[in-house]
Structure formats: structure tokens, C-alpha cells
Amino acid sequence: MSLAEANAFAFSLATSMMVSIVIFRAGDGTVAVVPADEYDGDACDIVAEMDPYVE
């Protein structure tokens, strides 16, 4: 998934689920999206975080 696709997907998930979403870079260089409470990876791998409650 490209970074642009990940941002669009994360924004969509954050606003529909009303949860914080983390965009992170996996060990193989790909970008992935997961709810923040389910992310258990290294904090330095986080590219961005989408929080629907922050403007």
C-alpha cells in the first residue's frame, strides 16, 4: 500500500470507527494501517496517527 493510500484508508477508518488509527512502516518497507490500541510494534516505525477527535 502506498503512503497516499494508507493516509486515505486511515482517515476513512478513523472517521467511520471513531478510533485512533496508526500508519506504520513494516519491516519489509511496506506501509500498513491498524487501530492504535492494536499496534504493538516499535514506536519509531509509526509514520502517522489519525485521531478523529483532534481537528
Q: Coil, strand or helix: which one is 41? A: coil
Mean pLDDT, residues 8-25 taken together:
94
Enter the DSSP assignment of 12: H
Which range marks the domain in which residue 33 is found? 3-50
pLDDT at 24: 96
Establish if 18 belongs to a structural domain.
yes
Whole-prediction pTM value? 0.86
Establish if 29 belongs to a structural domain.
yes
CA distance 37 to 54: 17
Mean pLDDT, residues 16-21 taken together:
95
Establish if 55 belongs to a structural domain.
no
Establish if 28 belongs to a structural domain.
yes
Other Cβ atoms less than 10 A from the Cβ of 49: the count is: 15
User: Which amino acid belongs to residue 9?
Assistant: F
* pLDDT tens track for 31-48: 999 999 999 989 999 999
Number of domains in the chain: 1
